[in-house]
Amino acid sequence: MQASRDSIIDIWGERSPYRGEWPVRVDQCTSEEPDHWVQSACVLCSNGCGIDIGVKNGRIVGVRGRKEDIVNFGRMGPKGLHGWVANNSKDRLTKPLIRENGKLREAGWDEAMNLIVQRSKEIIEKQTSLGIGFYTSGQLFLEEYYTLGVIGKAGLGTPHMDGNTRLCTATSAAALKASFGSDGQPGSYSDIDTTDCVLHFGHNIASQQTVLWMRILDRLAGPNPPKVVVIDPRETYTAQKATVHLAPKPGTNIPVMNGLLHLIITAGHINRAYIDAHTVGFEELEKIVTEWPPERVEKLSGVPAAKLREAARILGTTRSLVSTVLQGVYQSMQATAAAVQINNLHLVRGLIGSDGCGIYQMNGQPTAQNTRECGADGDLPAFRNWSNKEHVQQLAGLWNVELHKIPHWSPPTHAMQIWRFAEAGSIKMLWISGTNPAVSMPELSRIREILQKEDLFVVAQDAFMTETTKFADVVLPAAIWGEKTGCYTNVDRTVHISHKAVEPPGEARSDFDIFIDYSRRMGFKDKDGADLIKWNTPEEAFEAWKECTRGRPCDYTGMSYSKLTGGSGIQWPCNEKFPEGSHHLYTDGVFNTAADYCETYGHDLDTGAAVTQEEYKAIDPNGKAFLKGSDYIPPHEAPDEEYPLWLTTGRLVYHFHTRTKTGRSKELHEAAPDGYVQISEEDAAKYNIAEGDMIEVASRRGKIVEPAKIGGIGPGIVFVPFHYGYWDNEERPRAANELTITEWDAVSKQPHFKYAAVKISKTGGILDKIGEAIETIKEKFKPGET
Amino acid sequence: MHIGKYISLVHRTEIDLVKAFRLVADAHRDEVDVYQICMLLSSWSQSLSDDVQIFAEKYGEENDDEPDRLTQTLLKKARKGGMALLRDLHDLYLIVSEAEVCCAILQQGAAGLRDDALMLTCEEIERQSKRQLSWIYTRMRSAAPQTLIAAG
């Protein structure tokens, strides 16, 4: 492998300090010299770096960063530089598979698709389309999600469609909607270039978005470096660069944020004029946070009052601020309420909608934004409001179907509820595309049971055999990135095109073609009897999508395949008014909250109860942003005598998701070949555990066995990376989600992966076995017991 | 003066709600969100009943024999399954509505008495009851189509 650097060791590469512009640095990794390059964007995290795919003799032989792209200016991280080799893996799925007599056998496309159609029709006959659910991904392309969304909503008419985005970015969308009236990130990555302060909340950016972290490192290496505030229970790479690092106990994000806001408000570090002109709800927020003086916060969260004050002083006095939020918030208790507090911080300080002031409610996946935009998750396309009949009517008009065909009687069903319906038996067919729930969902023993249910017909569409496809009734081989054309949108609304570089292996087909094939075979028509899906190519789908976005916040009407090809990605909204796209939303302090425009009427942050149209119209903020507060609610499971430690789960720099791609790169695999359990020095001493000892971690739901890694975490907390499952190692239970809890945030419905009560014990070693034998002998010879 | 009658009604209904939310939570543990939110709403009713208790002591509660009170005819025992969930949420909705109506009447009494403290308590009960109703309404409506059409 020829590479511009060894990104396994040198994760972020050489510094190119920011001095008025972020210099270009082209990163590259190839196995052979390509005969040509094809424009694309990276799909191995949510950052969305512009890259080129190197092709030789019809095979992918490498990647390089695009120097002209505004996201990365040529840079790439280790996952992107190495993950492409998965396309060439020998174990790609190349033929459809059908379960027969308990075993999967090869089949033709006609046979597989006809079986799916036959089962669909049988289920609809008995139960209507409420018997069918879709569980998709944050990995497909915009054109595929939109096609799937239209099929689900206007073809079948089922509300049961969601993505694994529910596990990673549902709270991002929920928090943006709650504060600003619709999804859509207010800021731009370019804010990092000029900001005075960066706040990372539950976001180990150094490991997760390595290229975005390079941008921050280059600011830190230049003149006038920004201050960095990090809120994370672990001493991560990110935390090591912090000016102030707050390390709260699991489940205490709300007390910490309430405490910070309380200090900022009482110090008078707020922008009254902005609050009065552009927000509603300040008094109520103030009342709630007043209850959280630093000493009370310290008692509950373990964050020293002095440190909280220091952080509040920095955040309260900085003249510009970039905040990033991720899973430490989204996958923990009171997720939406805590994420909203970051929006509140920017609003009360008036730091939004201008250069250097960005909020990135981060996404976890490269195309998660499109799952949300296109209606392939629990939302309607183009941020339309399911409880606003006029919005639903717009879609009915666009698709030429009757209004009542589109399910809008209640919110589209979220993933956790879709799985629950399957468990309870009212969903009989679950179509899974581009995701691996048998490793990524919480409480895996339950997920395996559901997947194996006799009365549940499971379709799995993937590029590889996974822990999930193993249980499927039909497996469809999918073409992936590099093998198909389409667009996707990253965290800062930058839309990239990814051109097809090579043919998919064997008979594998794009998700796009598979969904359209299903629609045609099902005979989905519009109300005039024409095909419901009126497009055959991704470009035609993109044109249809543009019409769907017209006049909505995510307006794509000014883009085209040709405009996206050749240069940099473009940030939406891009239309007649903003032909080159937009760096910021809300530059004029007018938000998307008007009753006839907003994506949601909002929710009670504690219960998730939906505000009705009538209630909302009575308080119509008509463009002002919401300041919403919430008081502390303790986690539903906390350590006790039996399970005395907190479990928290997370990610490693070298892997993505369940490693279906990254695990197939030799370099990435060898950099992080196995899971581990991270514990503090104090707990290691207490349990007599040495580095590398095999440890059993058990919760009320399951157990895993992992080698111990000591240090870098507080006492009483156990960390396990969630990437590792069983496709390449079935020797021991090692998936972190064997331990996690089936429960979710009241508003965003995102599951709580960041806390659970566990116990640990040493296991497996020969000395332990001897120890156990001696104990048994002792038991047998206890005096008085014969 | 019969204000004690309505203080008693509000007080007893909130106590009934503490138990009723708990009962529904326990009966539908498999619906995780129902369990967790019902436990939360039960704790709200506990706190509201504590708030009213102070006024029961001030004005005296006036109990009479009303065996047919709404709360006693609803939610007598735990039921299981999808339709049972819908029926139980429906019952809860009616009981919380009872608390809300009782409170609205009590609030008029408090206004007449110029009892600002009781007014504030009534406002809090009204606010929290509306939040409880709003959650039950949301959850019932989202459960209804699947239960009425697709469940076996």
Question: CB-based contact (8 Å) between A426 and chain B?
Answer: yes
Question: A573 preceded by cis ω (within 30°)?
Answer: yes
Which DSSP symbol is given to A470?
G
Q: Is the pLDDT of residue A226 over 50?
A: yes
pLDDT of A520 reads: 98
Given A410, A426, A743, which is nearest B141 (Cβ)?
A: A410
pLDDT of A780 reads: 45
pLDDT of A785 reads: 36
For the domain bounded by A2-88, which CATH number is listed?
Answer: 2.20.25.90
CB contact under 8 A, A633 and B40: yes
Residues of A in contact with B146 (CB under 8 A): 130, 421, 426
pLDDT of A402 reads: 97
Residue in chain B lying closest to A128 (CA): B150
Q: Is the pLDDT of residue A457 over 50?
A: yes
Residues of A in contact with B137 (CB under 8 A): 609
Question: CB-based contact (8 Å) between A614 and chain B?
Answer: no
Query: How close does chain A come to B90, measured CA to CA in Å?
Result: 15
Q: Which of A410, A443, A615, A742 is the best residue to mutate to test the B interface, defined by the most B CB atoms within 10 Å of its own CB?
A: A410
Q: Is the pLDDT of residue B2 over 90?
A: no
Mean pLDDT score of chain A: 95
CB contact under 8 A, A425 and B145: no
Q: Is the pLDDT of residue A431 over 80?
A: yes
Residues of B in contact with A333 (CB under 8 A): none
Given B82, B145, B152, which is nearest A409 (Cβ)?
A: B145
For A232-266, write each residue's pLDDT tens digit.
998 999 999 999 999 999 999 999 999 999 999 99
CB contact under 8 A, B135 and A607: yes
Percentage of chain A lying above the pLDDT 90 cut? 95
Given A426, A606, A746, which is nearest B151 (Cβ)?
A: A426
What integer is the mean pLDDT of A390-407? 97
pLDDT of A673 reads: 96
For A550-606, write each residue's pLDDT tens digit.
999 999 999 999 999 999 999 999 999 999 999 999 999 999 999 999 999 999 999
| Portions of chain A given CATH number 2.20.25.90 | 2-88
Amino acid code (one letter) for A215: R
CB contact under 8 A, A421 and B141: no
Residue in chain B lying closest to A608 (CA): B135
Q: For chain B, what is the radius of gyration of the CA atoms?
A: 16
CB contact under 8 A, B150 and A411: no
For A135-179, write each residue's pLDDT tens digit.
999 999 999 999 999 999 999 999 999 999 999 999 999 999 999
> Do residues A553 and A381 make contact, with C-beta atoms less than 8 angstroms apart?
no
CA distance B96 to B45: 10
pLDDT of A782 reads: 43
> Do residues A406 and A153 make contact, with C-beta atoms less than 8 angstroms apart?
yes
CB contact under 8 A, A610 and B138: yes
Given A411, A609, A636, which is nearest B36 (Cβ)?
A: A636
Q: A97-168+366-551 architecture in CATH? A: 3-Layer(aba) Sandwich (3.40)
pLDDT of B61 reads: 78
Question: CB-based contact (8 Å) between B134 and chain A?
Answer: yes
Quote the tokens at residue A348.
């009360």
- Topology, domain A171-362: Dimethylsulfoxide Reductase; domain 2 (3.40.228)
Question: CB-based contact (8 Å) between A765 and chain B?
Answer: no
Angle at A367 between CA A502 and CA A414, to 5 degrees: 130
What integer is the mean pLDDT of A185-210? 97
Amino acid code (one letter) for B97: S
Domains defined along chain B, listed by start = 3-150 (1.20.1260.10)
pLDDT of A763 reads: 82
Question: CB-based contact (8 Å) between B31 and chain A?
Answer: yes
Query: How close does chain A come to B133, measured CA to CA in Å?
Result: 9
Mean pLDDT score of chain B: 91
Identify the bridge partners of residue A98 per DSSP, sorted by sequence position. A105, A474
Query: How close does chain B come to A596, measured CA to CA in Å?
Result: 21
pLDDT of B62 reads: 77
> Do residues A145 and A381 make contact, with C-beta atoms less than 8 angstroms apart?
no
Question: CB-based contact (8 Å) between A125 and chain B?
Answer: no
Q: Is the pLDDT of residue B98 over 60?
A: yes
Give residues with Cβ within 8 angstroms of A89, minimum separation 6. Answer: A464, A664
Given B33, B131, B142, which is nearest A411 (Cβ)?
A: B142
pLDDT of A772 reads: 52
Residue in the block written with tokens 């059908």: A98
Residue in chain B lying closest to A426 (CA): B151
Percentage of chain A lying above the pLDDT 70 cut? 97
Query: How close does chain A come to B55, measured CA to CA in Å?
Result: 25
Q: What was the ipTM of the complex prediction? A: 0.95
pLDDT of A781 reads: 46
Question: CB-based contact (8 Å) between B116 and chain A?
Answer: no
Residue in the block written with tokens 């005819």: B73
A65 exposure class (CB count in 10 Å sphere: 0-12, 13-18, 19+): buried
Question: CB-based contact (8 Å) between B146 and chain A?
Answer: yes
Question: A69-78, A376-385, A533-542: which has the minimum mean pLDDT?
Answer: A376-385
CB contact under 8 A, A426 and B36: no
pLDDT of A784 reads: 37
What integer is the mean pLDDT of B25-48? 96
What integer is the mean pLDDT of A469-491? 98
Given B131, B150, B152, which is nearest A607 (Cβ)?
A: B131
| Portions of chain A given CATH number 2.40.40.20 | 645-777
- Topology, domain A645-777: Barwin-like endoglucanases (2.40.40)
What confidence tier does B80 reach under pLDDT thresholds 50, 70, 90?
confident
Quote the tokens at residue A208.
């997760």
Side-chain half-sphere CA neighbours of A566 within 13 A: 4
Residues of A in contact with B152 (CB under 8 A): 425-426
Amino acid code (one letter) for A541: A
Q: Where are the alpha helices (DSSP H) in B60-150?
A: 70-73, 82-113, 116-145
Helix, strand, coil distribution of chain B in percent, nearest 5: 80, 0, 20
Which DSSP symbol is given to A503?
P
Virtual torsion, Cα A378, A383, A389, A390, nearest 10 deg = -160
For A349-377, write each residue's pLDDT tens digit.
999 999 999 999 999 899 999 999 999 98
pLDDT of A774 reads: 52
Q: Is the pLDDT of residue B67 over 70?
A: no
> Hey, is A434 helix, strand or coil?
coil
pLDDT of A775 reads: 53
What is the count of residue pairs from A and B with beta carbons less than 8 Å apart? 70
Question: A157-161, A514-518, B66-70: which has the minimum mean pLDDT?
Answer: B66-70
pLDDT of A783 reads: 40
What integer is the mean pLDDT of A11-28? 97
Residue in chain A lying closest to B142 (CA): A410
